[in-house]
Structure 1
Amino acid sequence: MAENFWAPVKLSIEIAFTSGIIVLILGLILGKVMAKAKFKGRVFIETLFLLPLVLPPTVVGFLLIVLFGRQSPIGQMIEWLFQQPVMFTWWAAVIASTIVAFPLMYQSAKTGFAAIDEDIEGAARVDGASEFRLFLLVSIPLSLKSIISGGILSFARALGEFGATLMFAGNIPGKTQTIPTAIYIALDSGNMHLAWLWVLSMIGISFIMLVCVQLSKS
């Protein structure tokens, strides 16, 4: 029982942590670029970034299959490079979690960067700071609360991803079976005791994550 319980928990945390790192890096870079950018087509690009936030997870899963499936050019290239398809692997679960969690990190980071007084950044440039040093030593510290909030929410969203993961990564015990997919299988097989344990663990983790978000804003 203990092994059956802990395997999806451990896998979910590993997947959410890995996707969280990817989302953090992408969210910081793209959030900084888009915070004060003014160019034609900006609204279209930003809409693409935020689209996974409102799309049903099954739609995201379908699009991932189309983009990375064995019949797609990208999927065939990945299979040629790594000698295995990306679908139904640990990395497929990471990709699915990253896609659905990215909008939360991006929106939080962009909001934080957009709120920075341009005079502060301008003064740093006058003092000779490069754009990279400006980003690390000025922009990130001044937006830290928004970044922390977005990071926590992204981790929680990745941890709870179900639909896109099930479609793209499957439900392979010890490989791609996360807590949400494990709950689905336990409920389907009538194992209510195990399902309740996972449900309560998800509620507990999510509660802690939301508390951390509130504390980060105070």
Structure 2
Amino acid sequence: MPSDASDAAAETLESGPRRRRVRKGVSRGVGTGVTRGVPLPLLLPALLGLAFLLLPLIALLVRAPWSALSTQLTSTEVWQALRLSLLCATAATAASLVIGVPLAWLLARTDFPGRGLVRALVTLPLVLPPVVGGVALLLALGRNGIVGQWLDAWFGITLPFTTTGVIVAETFVAMPFLVISVEGTLRAADPRYEEAATTLGASRFTAFRRVTLPLIAPGIAAGAVLAWARALGEFGATITFAGNFPGRTQTMPLAVYLALQNNPEAAIALSLVLLAVSITVLAALRERWVSPA
């Protein structure tokens, strides 16, 4: 016993300096993934990559017609594109919330055959070329589409080349962002709260509405912002499925493309608006992507 006590005392005395060395190493960045010295073969490509990403944005800011910016943004064509973009992006986000949140809950909280395949199909629009998505929407919901022909014959509903078609196209490409965000939040949330609510007599839907939704509200908000920003910047699926008609289907990205040929200053002004929206979204979601130091 005395030998054991002396060994323990010696280990305690040695652990003090060791703990101080560990704390000093942590304060210097050792073991935290942060290094002070950067090898030159890594530094140069890193700086080149940073310059490659920032140079186009700097060029946009340098060449922007700041003196005529207010005039460009208040012109009739630009205002129509801005108003239509905001309206359609908001409607697409609302539609994504209505059908995307239940879909995310289904993927996160239930187990059924083929769930992995369903998840892959839900996320497919993230990697699918937008133009291909527009063609697929035409084949499905167009006037001669497998579903669109019945919508036209039974209800007189025609989606392509209409404002509703813009909303449909934007929802198709934006909803996966919401589903992924909400599903990740649901998987991180403790399901025992829902189980406790059901044992107290609440139905599954009541537990979802009164317990789950408040728990995952930050994830829903983040997913909604991402979906709204993605819908606002959609181009390929929109122009393929809804066309490019001023005042009806011409959103901001389409207006930028068209104005670049005839009025470059208007194109730059609209690009600045989209750039400002993107920066705002990144700033709002920074805490979800960057862990605190």
What TM-score do the two structures reach when normalised by structure 1?
A: 0.94
User: What is the identity, as a one-letter code, of the residue corresponding to 1:48?
Assistant: L
Which segment drifts farther, 74-83 or 51-60? 74-83
Distance 2:146 2:236 in 1: 24
Q: For each residue in 1:95-138, what CA deviation from the matched residue of structure 2 results, as whole angstroms up to 9, or x when unmatched? A: 10000001100011111111221222111111111112211111
Question: 3-state SS of the aligned residue for 1:146?
Answer: helix
- Cα displacement (A) at 1:84: 5.0
1:147 aligned to 2:220? yes
Of 126, 139, 156, which aligns to 2:199?
126
1:192 paired residue number: 264
Paired with 1:81 and 1:11, the residues of 2 have a C-alpha distance of: 28
Q: 1:210 aligns to what? A: 282
Q: Is the Cα contact below 8 Å between 2:77 and 2:246 reproduced in 1?
A: no
Contact 1:125 / 1:134 at 8 angstroms: preserved in 2?
yes
Query: Which ranges of structure 1 fall in alignment gaps of 5 or more residues?
Result: none
Q: What SS does structure 1 have at the residue aligned with 2:285?
A: helix
Amino acid paired to 2:129: P
Q: Which amino acid in structure 1 is aligned with residue 285 of structure 2?
A: V
1:112 matched residue in structure 2: 185
Aligned partner (choices 220, 226, 239) of residue 166 of structure 1 = 239
Match of 1:62 among 135, 146, 163: 135
Give the number of the structure with larger relative contact order, counting CA–CA contacts within 8 Å between residues 6 or more apart.
1
Query: Quick check: 1:145–1:216 contact (8 Å CA) kept in 2?
Result: no
Farther off after superposition, 39-48 or 82-91: 82-91
Normalised TM-score (structure 2): 0.71
Superposed CA deviations along residues 4-37 of structure 1, whole A, max 9, x for unmatched, are 2111000000000001001011121011111032
Question: Within 5 Å, which residues of 2 pair with 1:67-106?
Answer: 67-83=140-156, 85-106=158-179
SS at match of 1:143: helix
Q: Deviations over 1:40-73 (max 9, x none)?
A: 1111111111000000101101101111122223
Alignment correspondent of 2:116: 43
Moved more, 143-152 or 116-125: 116-125
Structure 2: give runs of 5+ residues left out of the alignment. Answer: 1-71
Q: CA separation of 1:141/1:84 partners in 2, compared to 1, >3 Å: closer, same or farther?
A: closer
2:78 and 2:255 in contact (8 A); partners too: no
Structure 1 vs Structure 2 CA RMSD: 1.6
Q: Secondary structure, in 3 states, of the residue corresponding to 1:177?
A: coil
- CA distance in 2 between counterparts of 1:84 and 1:188 reads 34
Q: Which secondary structure does the structure 1 equivalent of 2:147 belong to?
A: helix
Q: Is the 8 A contact 1:11 1:175 kept in 2?
A: yes
Higher mean C-alpha deviation, range 152-161 or range 204-213: 204-213
Deviates most, 94-103 or 106-115: 106-115
Q: Is the 8 A contact 1:153 1:210 kept in 2?
A: no
Q: Compute the displacement of 1:162 (Å).
A: 0.1
